A = this chain, B = another copy of it.
Amino acid sequence: MSYALRSYFRSSASWRVRIALNHKGLPYETVPVHLLREGGEQHGDEHRHLNPMEQLPVLLIDGTPLAQSLAILEYLEEVHPEPSLLPRDPLARARVRQLAEIVNSGIQPVQNLFVMQQLGAQLGADRQAQQAWSRFFIERGLRALEALVAAYGGIYSVGDGISIADVCLVPQLYNARRFSVDLSHVPRLTAIEGRLASLPAFVAAHADHQPDAEVG
């Protein structure tokens, strides 16, 4: 099976998929899609044809496009079950998905680039108000994650195994820092991040290490 990932180096949803591909030892080609250049290449005909939501990532599976990072992560888990990113027990698996969805549906979609652009276009929000909006929703979600990790976490977000919850956490924390979110209130999350940061799958997936990475 051949994999190509349409990706942007700072796209947190693309980053999640990069971690999973690396973790499972699956080689893939990166196809950069620039989220800002020329109004956003994700809005162009070529990309919209592959994903009518005009978002990243899109995984091309032998050429067939699949979008939505959580759908991709579940697909990779089903087709390449080892090394796993989900525990075996159904309730533990559900807990992983609960935490992943806090990032995937509770934080990122409300504070991403497109939403910020729309806050400006529809409501006249300036850059400062847009950033405050994003900061608010990131802080809210991370606070909830911290509480859940206190209850269910171990070495990693859920228990002692690396999971899809960790895959979602790391890019969201990078993103939080870009919005100057105070992370001192989520010490469990940053401790887990610290344990993940040096793992090869996470290092190789980092924004700074992508072929389309830019400085600053």
On A, residues with C-beta under 8 Å from B are 51-55, 61, 64, 66-68, 70-72, 74-75, 78-79, 90-91, 93-95, 97-98, 100-102, 104-106, 108-110, 115, 118-119, 122-123, 125, 129, 132-133, 136, 140-141, 143-144, 147-148
Contact = CB atoms under 8 A, between A and B. Distances in A.
Contact of A78 (B71, B72, B90): B90
Q: Chain A's interface: helix, strand, loop or mixed, by majority?
A: helix
A134 B122 CA distance: 11
For A93, A95, A109, the residue with the greatest tally of chain B CB atoms inside 10 Å of its CB is A109
For A68, A108, A129, the residue with the greatest tally of chain B CB atoms inside 10 Å of its CB is A68
A79 B92 CA distance: 12
A94 B129 CA distance: 37
Contacts of A52: 143-144, 147-148
Contacts of A94: 66, 71-72, 74-75
Contacts of A144: 51-54
Contact of A53 (B70, B102, B132, B133): B102
Contact of A98 (B54, B66, B79): B66
Contact of A106 (B64, B95, B109, B147): B109
Given A53-B144, A68-B102, 15 more contacts: A55-B106, A61-B91, A66-B94, A67-B98, A68-B101, A70-B105, A74-B93, A74-B97, A75-B91, A75-B97, A78-B93, A101-B105, A104-B105, A118-B136, A119-B123
